[in-house]
Chains A and B, each alone.
Chain A
Amino acid sequence: MNLFVLVIKEIFYRKISSLIILLTVVTASAVSVAVFSLSKASENETRKIMREQGLNLYIFPKGTNLIDFYSVNNTPSFPESYVDSLATSRTFDAVRHLTGILQVRYPDWTDPNGSRHQIVVVGYKDEAMQRFLSRQETMGFDVPAGTVRVGALLAKNIPEGDPFVMKGADGEPYRFRISERLTEGKGILDQGVAFNLADLQKVLGMEGQINKIEALGCVCHDGRINNARNQVQAIFPGLEVTEMSSIADARENQRLMMNKYGAFIIPFVILSALLISALLFYSNVQTRKPEIGLMKALGKSNQFVTGLFLIKAFVLGLLGAITGFFAGSLVAVYFGREIFRFTAMDIGPVWNIFGFSILAFPVLWMISSWIPALLATQVDAAGILSQE
């Protein structure tokens, strides 16, 4: 008889013990998926808050008057290659994500109705990741060349489908496709336009220049701001580092705390569940000694006996992983939407970990049944079968 059929029949026969083993997998899988999904949601929330409510650090040319930064159009600039230099520097590891920005006030923009406005134009260089730190997802957003993202106040004055047009430093009009009309509440960008850096540099005649670097992913407490400042200035003495937002810090702290607890909770729950499961498999071996003895008497191999337990563990591990994934995702969605208000609607199952779950949990549960399975092969068939 097929080993798999034998395993399935035994699972249904010993429903309670099988169900308890299944519950251990579901619990471990659900907790892991929920914690991981919430951690991911927290990361997305942090990213959004950092982008929209302020960032950890800004790196400016030394002497920049920050009070006037948003109201003048002639702040000191520096080469955009500095971003890449910092990203590839072995001595700069205070922050992970770096975005070179050219941000100026454009005093004379004429909307399609002929009205003139003072607006903010911001050019974003594609985000650079610190090369010698572990890779993470991009924290900000990149603006593709030839397109712009228009702030809510400007968008009201531009008919749907029209391009964004502005006069360049050379007096020529430049047209850009509007890829997104931003909603209100984006701070300075409500009255501004986001460009690809190279596009804006060309319009303004400032090729290769930026006037600030946004640095994300730094928690600037316990002296790290000083550390970041020292590291930047050791490389570029002409730049200075300023801490801009405590909100983002708070969120980043929350995210790191979540990761820290997750790093403890997930292994703790999985190991506890594995231990309980191993004991249940051991108990299963004790209960099934006459069956195992009989199988040995019938000439079934040790591999066959081991397979009875390993396949059972695999089947329950797989079922538990699938159930746990959906249960954990439901928990994450329910609580995540309560906690993370900015990204509430983006919270959903993290499908990337589904594949990992259905692979990892069956394998882990097979490992938990390994010792009981080996003990099963040592059952004294003669002793068991001759009992009256």
Chain B
Amino acid sequence: MLEINNITKKYRKRGSIFTALDGVTFRVDKGDFVVVVGPSGSGKSTLLHTIGGLIHPDSGQILYEGRDIYSPDRVASEKYRRTNVGFVFQQFHLMPYLTVNENIKMVCSEISHQQRIGHYLEKCALYPLRNKYPSELSVGEKQRTAFIRAIVSNPEILLADEPTGNLDPQNSSIIMSMIEDFHLSGGTILLVSHDPESAKYPRRFLTLDSGKLT
């Protein structure tokens, strides 16, 4: 489904070159639950964003269903992000001027996606808050909203970058169980997490250190 072939990414920092990813190669099959772990600065987030189509690698290829997601066709790359990938970030990144409902609706390109919003809101106990703005929500409510936004358009892959990093144990548990539900429904997950909660779920670990898989 997803083939990561020998990708390298280097950054220039204060005159010196910092290697964020160094020849990383692995494969993700449909329905996999991959957890990427490693110390701070090991390149976990860079890897996730590269797979998500947001950071162009210096070399190597990322193939989704056999097609290079960094092909020169920008429209295809945008379509990949829009339809095949869902993102959850540590900082929820909700639009401050849109309500819970509108934040989720923003990514719906089909009527069927919009019809699912109510179901997810009920499931995540957000239905009564659907017309509230992000400033009126708790952090847990914000992350649940961001999670629904990531999965409402039914993506193949969920990329989650420290989704529980800002949450208390109770909310972390809720989010992790939602991620697990997505996995059980056939979704593919790449998760960057330090949360011990993630150890409860069946998964494949990848450890990154100084940009290399160990």
Task: Specify whether A and B are partners.
Answer: yes
A388-B54 in contact (CB<8A): no
Among candidates B49, B97, B105, B107, residue contacting A10 with C-beta atoms closer than 8 Å = B97
A13-B96 in contact (CB<8A): yes
Nearest CB of B to A242, in Å: 71
| Partner-contacting stretch, out of A45-53, A179-187, A290-298, A326-334 | A290-298
Nearest CB of B to A2, in Å: 10
- B193 at interface (Cβ–Cβ under 8 A)? no
Counting chain B CB atoms within 10 Å of each CB, which of A14, A301, A382 scores highest?
A382
- B161 at interface (Cβ–Cβ under 8 A)? yes
Nearest CB of A to B40, in Å: 10
A347-388 contacts to B (CB < 8 Å): 381-382, 385-388
**Would A386 and B45 be within 8 Å (CB), given that A298-B81, A299-B83, A381-B54 are in contact?**
yes
Q: How far is the CA of A14 from the CA of B89 in the complex (A)?
A: 24
Total number of A-B contacts with CB less than 8 angstroms? 70
B97-A388 in contact (CB<8A): no
Among candidates B78, B95, B97, residue contacting A301 with C-beta atoms closer than 8 Å = B78
A294-B93 in contact (CB<8A): yes
B94 to A, closest residue via Cβ: A294
Residues of B within 8 A of A290 (CB): 91, 93
Chain A contact residue count (CB 8 A cutoff)? 24
**Would A12 and B91 be within 8 Å (CB), given that A298-B82, A382-B54, A386-B49 are in contact?**
no
A302 to B, closest residue via Cβ: B74
Residues of A within 8 A of B91 (CB): 290, 385, 387-388
B95-A291 in contact (CB<8A): yes
Q: Contact mask B29-57 → A, CB, 8 Å, 1/0?
A: 00000000000000001100100101100
Nearest CB of B to A308, in Å: 11
A142-184 contacts to B (CB < 8 Å): none
A296-B97 in contact (CB<8A): no
Binding site for B on A (CB under 8 A): 1, 6, 9-10, 12-14, 290-291, 293-294, 296-302, 381-382, 385-388
